[in-house]
């Protein structure tokens, strides 16, 4: 987001071109560096069985819960944060586009603070607690964002939502 704020100074279209190019480079790297998954997976006894498909995964409650949690998080991050936050910062708080980028950076900073720790926590204790706590913080932070009447409060709540 901070890079985008700097790129907006060049031209309003520049961030789209730079970010789009970065995604194309990432896609090319994935294509070249990541191998295709095997059609079969080895089991404990060394036997090989076909990899599970989507319908097989849907039979597992943990998978369904992960699917719903990721959908909710994706909806909030992509559908709400990336579309409404810039609009709210500009129209609701009367700030420019660079301020919108700064609020997105505050969210990203919250992510950066907690992401590795949450990964270690989930590896050691399981995914449930970090996912539930993360969704609660993100949901509460996002809800309070609409009540913010200053940019400082908005940025602080954005940081919390990123946790």
CB atoms within 10 A of CB 26: 10
Q: How far apart are CA 40 and CA 52, in angstroms?
A: 9
Instruction: Report pTM.
Output: 0.66
Cβ atoms of 100 and 85 within 8 Å: the answer is: yes
Per-residue pLDDT tens for 131-140?
888 888 888 8
Report CA 2 to chain centroid distance, whole Å. 16
The tens digit of pLDDT for each residue in 85-132 reads 888 999 899 998 889 889 999 999 999 999 999 989 999 988 888 888
* Two tokens, residue 36: 């295709």
């Amino acid at each position: 987001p901070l890079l985008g704020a700097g790129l907006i100074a060049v031209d309003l279209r520049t961030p789209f071109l730079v970010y789009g190019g970065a995604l194309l480079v990432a896609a090319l790297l994935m294509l070249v560096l990541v191998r295709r998954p095997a059609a079969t997976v080895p089991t404990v006894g060394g036997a090989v069985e076909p990899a599970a498909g989507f319908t097989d995964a849907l039979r597992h409650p943990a998978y369904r819960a992960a699917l719903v949690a990721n959908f909710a998080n994706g909806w909030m991050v992509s559908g709400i944060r990336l579309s409404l936050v810039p609009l709210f910062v500009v129209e609701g708080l009367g700030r420019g586009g660079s301020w919108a980028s700064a609020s997105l950076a505050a969210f990203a900073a919250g992510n950066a603070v907690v992401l590795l720790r949450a990964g270690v926590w989930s590896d050691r204790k399981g995914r449930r607690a970090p996912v539930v706590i993360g969704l609660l913080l993100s949901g509460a932070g996002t809800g309070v964002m609409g009540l913010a009447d200053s940019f400082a409060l908005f940025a602080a709540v954005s940081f919390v939502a990123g946790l």
